[in-house]
Amino acid sequence: MNAYQIIQQAHSGWAYLTVLMAIVFFLAASLYALNKKLKDKAITKISFYTTLVFHVQLLLGVVLYFLSPFAKWTENTMKDETNRLYAMEHPLIMFAAVIFVTVANSKIKKNEMIKVPTAILTLFALACVLSRIPWEAWLS
Q: Is the pLDDT of residue 76 over 90?
A: no
Convert the pLDDT of each residue in 41-65 to its tens digit. 999 999 999 999 999 999 999 999 9
Taking the C-alpha atoms of residue 58 and residue 49, their distance in angstroms, rounded to an integer, is 14
Burial of 13 from C-beta contacts in 10 A (0-12 / 13-18 / 19+): exposed
How many beta carbons lie within 10 A of that of residue 45, not counting itself? 11
* Structural domain count of the chain: 1
- The count of C-alpha atoms lying within 13 angstroms of the C-alpha of 55, restricted to the half-sphere facing its C-beta, is 10
Q: What is the pTM of this model?
A: 0.93
Max mean pLDDT among 81-90, 113-122, 129-138 falls in: 113-122
Taking the C-alpha atoms of residue 48 and residue 68, their distance in angstroms, rounded to an integer, is 30
Domain that holds residue 44: 3-138
Q: From residue 75, give the alpha-carbon distance in Å to each of 10, 107, 132.
A: 30, 42, 22
Query: Is the model more confident about 74 or about 133?
Result: 133
Convert the pLDDT of each residue in 117-129 to its tens digit. 999 999 999 999 9
